[in-house]
Homo-oligomer: A and B are copies of this chain.
Protein backbone atom coordinates (compact mmCIF):
# COMPACT_ATOMS: atom_id res chain seq x y z
CA UNK A 1 0.00 0.00 0.00
CA UNK A 2 2.61 2.48 1.12
CA UNK A 3 5.00 0.81 -1.27
CA UNK A 4 2.56 1.41 -4.14
CA UNK A 5 2.75 5.12 -3.43
CA UNK A 6 6.49 5.10 -2.81
CA UNK A 7 7.13 3.48 -6.16
CA UNK A 8 4.96 6.08 -7.80
CA UNK A 9 6.60 9.04 -6.06
CA UNK A 10 10.05 7.78 -6.95
CA UNK A 11 9.18 8.10 -10.61
CA UNK A 12 9.41 11.83 -10.03
CA UNK A 13 11.72 12.64 -7.13
CA UNK A 14 14.39 11.02 -4.99
CA UNK A 15 12.98 10.30 -1.59
CA UNK A 16 14.29 8.13 1.24
CA UNK A 17 12.30 5.53 3.13
CA UNK A 18 12.34 7.79 6.19
CA UNK A 19 10.95 10.70 4.21
CA UNK A 20 8.26 8.45 2.77
CA UNK A 21 7.34 7.47 6.31
CA UNK A 22 6.92 11.14 7.12
CA UNK A 23 4.84 11.67 3.98
CA UNK A 24 2.74 8.72 4.93
CA UNK A 25 1.86 10.29 8.29
CA UNK A 26 -0.15 12.88 6.40
CA UNK A 27 -2.26 10.33 4.59
CA UNK A 28 -5.20 8.26 5.64
CA UNK A 29 -6.74 5.27 3.96
CA UNK A 30 -10.21 5.73 2.55
CA UNK A 31 -12.40 2.98 1.13
CA UNK A 32 -15.29 3.48 -1.23
CA UNK A 33 -17.98 1.04 -2.29
CA UNK A 34 -19.13 0.93 -5.89
CA UNK A 35 -21.39 3.94 -6.65
CA UNK A 36 -20.34 5.70 -3.45
CA UNK A 37 -19.50 9.39 -3.81
CA UNK A 38 -16.16 10.91 -2.89
CA UNK A 39 -17.41 14.40 -3.69
CA UNK A 40 -20.83 15.78 -4.58
CA UNK A 41 -21.95 18.94 -6.32
CA UNK A 42 -22.05 21.91 -3.97
CA UNK A 43 -19.49 20.60 -1.51
CA UNK A 44 -15.95 21.92 -1.50
CA UNK A 45 -13.16 19.52 -2.31
CA UNK A 46 -10.72 19.24 0.60
CA UNK A 47 -8.19 16.64 -0.44
CA UNK A 48 -6.06 15.02 -3.09
CA UNK A 49 -6.49 11.28 -3.48
CA UNK A 50 -4.11 8.60 -4.61
CA UNK A 51 -5.97 5.59 -5.95
CA UNK A 52 -4.32 2.47 -4.58
CA UNK A 53 -6.84 0.23 -6.26
CA UNK A 54 -10.14 0.83 -7.97
CA UNK A 55 -11.78 3.11 -10.48
CA UNK A 56 -13.40 6.54 -10.15
CA UNK A 57 -15.20 8.92 -12.43
CA UNK A 58 -15.72 12.64 -12.25
CA UNK A 59 -18.83 14.08 -13.93
CA UNK A 60 -21.29 16.93 -13.87
CA UNK A 61 -24.94 17.24 -14.75
CA UNK A 62 -25.64 19.54 -17.71
CA UNK A 63 -28.64 21.86 -18.21
CA UNK A 64 -30.65 19.02 -19.73
CA UNK A 65 -30.00 16.81 -16.74
CA UNK A 66 -27.54 14.57 -18.56
CA UNK A 67 -24.46 13.24 -16.76
CA UNK A 68 -21.28 14.22 -18.55
CA UNK A 69 -18.09 12.45 -17.62
CA UNK A 70 -15.03 14.65 -17.36
CA UNK A 71 -12.47 12.12 -16.32
CA UNK A 72 -11.69 8.66 -15.10
CA UNK A 73 -9.19 7.66 -12.45
CA UNK A 74 -7.73 4.25 -11.98
CA UNK A 75 -5.09 2.40 -9.94
CA UNK A 76 -2.02 4.50 -9.24
CA UNK A 77 -3.42 7.86 -10.34
CA UNK A 78 -3.87 11.00 -8.29
CA UNK A 79 -7.44 12.20 -8.47
CA UNK A 80 -9.26 15.25 -7.19
CA UNK A 81 -11.32 18.20 -8.33
CA UNK A 82 -8.49 20.69 -8.85
CA UNK A 83 -10.86 23.53 -9.52
CA UNK A 84 -12.74 23.20 -6.25
CA UNK A 85 -9.67 22.17 -4.25
CA UNK A 86 -7.56 25.12 -5.29
CA UNK A 87 -10.14 27.87 -5.53
CA UNK A 88 -12.03 26.47 -2.55
CA UNK A 89 -15.25 27.13 -4.41
CA UNK A 90 -18.10 24.60 -4.22
CA UNK A 91 -17.65 21.74 -6.65
CA UNK A 92 -19.74 21.66 -9.82
CA UNK A 93 -18.81 18.03 -10.25
CA UNK A 94 -19.35 14.69 -8.63
CA UNK A 95 -16.66 12.13 -8.00
CA UNK A 96 -18.01 8.60 -7.73
CA UNK A 97 -16.56 5.13 -7.45
CA UNK A 98 -17.19 2.89 -10.45
CA UNK A 99 -15.76 -0.06 -8.53
CA UNK A 100 -15.01 -0.71 -4.88
CA UNK A 101 -11.91 1.37 -4.40
CA UNK A 102 -9.14 2.01 -1.94
CA UNK A 103 -7.60 5.46 -1.74
CA UNK A 104 -5.02 7.43 0.18
CA UNK A 105 -6.35 10.82 1.22
CA UNK A 106 -4.06 13.84 1.52
CA UNK A 107 -6.20 16.44 3.23
CA UNK A 108 -5.72 20.05 2.22
CA UNK A 109 -5.50 21.16 5.87
CA UNK A 110 -2.20 19.40 6.29
CA UNK A 111 -0.95 19.89 2.76
CA UNK A 112 0.85 23.15 3.56
CA UNK A 113 2.39 21.64 6.66
CA UNK A 114 3.62 18.69 4.66
CA UNK A 115 5.24 21.03 2.15
CA UNK A 116 7.07 22.78 4.98
CA UNK A 117 8.29 19.57 6.55
CA UNK A 118 9.18 17.98 3.24
CA UNK A 119 9.88 20.67 0.67
CA UNK A 120 10.72 18.23 -2.06
CA UNK A 121 7.05 17.32 -2.12
CA UNK A 122 6.41 20.75 -3.56
CA UNK A 123 8.41 19.68 -6.56
CA UNK A 124 6.59 16.38 -6.74
CA UNK A 125 3.23 18.11 -6.97
CA UNK A 126 4.49 20.65 -9.46
CA UNK A 127 5.69 17.85 -11.71
CA UNK A 128 2.45 15.87 -11.26
CA UNK A 129 0.52 18.97 -12.14
CA UNK A 130 2.61 19.49 -15.26
CA UNK A 131 2.08 15.89 -16.35
CA UNK A 132 -1.63 16.10 -15.71
CA UNK A 133 -1.81 19.31 -17.65
CA UNK A 134 0.05 17.86 -20.61
CA UNK A 135 -2.37 14.95 -20.66
CA UNK A 136 -5.22 17.43 -20.92
CA UNK A 137 -3.53 19.43 -23.65
CA UNK A 138 -3.17 16.26 -25.66
CA UNK A 139 -6.75 15.33 -24.97
CA UNK A 140 -8.11 18.68 -26.14
CA UNK A 141 -6.02 18.48 -29.27
CA UNK A 142 -6.99 14.91 -29.95
CA UNK A 143 -10.68 15.30 -29.32
CA UNK A 144 -10.88 18.26 -31.64
CA UNK A 145 -9.11 16.58 -34.50
CA UNK A 146 -11.02 13.40 -35.10
CA UNK A 147 -14.42 11.95 -35.83
CA UNK A 148 -16.41 10.18 -33.15
CA UNK A 149 -15.73 6.85 -34.73
CA UNK A 150 -11.97 7.32 -34.59
CA UNK A 151 -12.13 8.71 -31.06
CA UNK A 152 -13.95 5.66 -29.80
CA UNK A 153 -11.81 3.10 -31.60
CA UNK A 154 -8.57 4.76 -30.55
CA UNK A 155 -9.75 5.06 -26.98
CA UNK A 156 -10.61 1.38 -26.80
CA UNK A 157 -7.36 0.49 -28.46
CA UNK A 158 -5.13 2.57 -26.20
CA UNK A 159 -7.12 1.97 -23.01
CA UNK A 160 -8.25 -1.63 -23.15
CA UNK A 161 -8.36 -1.61 -19.35
CA UNK A 162 -11.17 0.92 -19.34
CA UNK A 163 -13.11 -0.95 -21.96
CA UNK A 164 -13.21 -3.85 -19.52
CA UNK A 165 -13.85 -2.02 -16.29
CA UNK A 166 -16.10 0.85 -17.39
CA UNK A 167 -19.57 0.52 -18.97
CA UNK A 168 -19.81 1.52 -22.60
CA UNK A 169 -22.17 4.41 -22.02
CA UNK A 170 -19.65 6.03 -19.67
CA UNK A 171 -16.92 5.84 -22.26
CA UNK A 172 -19.36 7.39 -24.73
CA UNK A 173 -20.05 10.21 -22.28
CA UNK A 174 -16.34 10.78 -21.68
CA UNK A 175 -15.77 11.07 -25.43
CA UNK A 176 -18.80 13.30 -25.77
CA UNK A 177 -20.66 10.83 -27.92
CA UNK A 178 -24.15 9.41 -27.52
CA UNK A 179 -24.40 5.80 -26.33
CA UNK A 180 -26.40 4.99 -29.45
CA UNK A 181 -23.64 6.28 -31.67
CA UNK A 182 -20.99 4.21 -29.92
CA UNK A 183 -23.19 1.17 -30.23
CA UNK A 184 -23.46 1.74 -33.98
CA UNK A 185 -19.73 2.17 -34.36
CA UNK A 186 -19.23 -1.20 -32.72
CA UNK A 187 -21.92 -2.85 -34.83
CA UNK A 188 -20.46 -1.46 -38.04
CA UNK A 189 -17.20 -3.32 -37.69
CA UNK A 190 -19.04 -6.52 -36.92
CA UNK A 191 -16.31 -6.48 -34.32
CA UNK A 192 -14.31 -9.44 -33.11
Query: In the complex this chain forms, how many copies of it are found?
Result: 2
Q: Which of chain B's residues has its CB closest to A140's CB? A: B140
Tell me the residues in window 126-166 of chain A with beta carbons closer than 8 Å to chain B beta carbons. 126, 129-134, 136-141, 144-145
Contacts of A125 in B (CB 8 A): 126
CB <8 Å contact, B133 and A136: yes
CB <8 Å contact, A82 and B129: no
CB <8 Å contact, A70 and B141: yes
Chain A's interface size range is: 20 to 34
Chain A's interface: helix, strand, loop or mixed, by majority? helix
Interface residues of A (CB under 8 A from B): 60, 62-63, 68, 70, 82-83, 86-87, 115, 119, 122-123, 125-126, 129-134, 136-141, 144-145, 176
Q: List 24 A-B contacts (CB under 8 A).
A: A60-B141, A62-B145, A63-B145, A68-B141, A68-B144, A68-B145, A82-B134, A82-B137, A83-B134, A83-B137, A83-B138, A86-B130, A86-B134, A115-B123, A119-B119, A122-B122, A122-B126, A126-B129, A129-B129, A132-B133, A133-B133, A136-B137, A136-B140, A144-B176
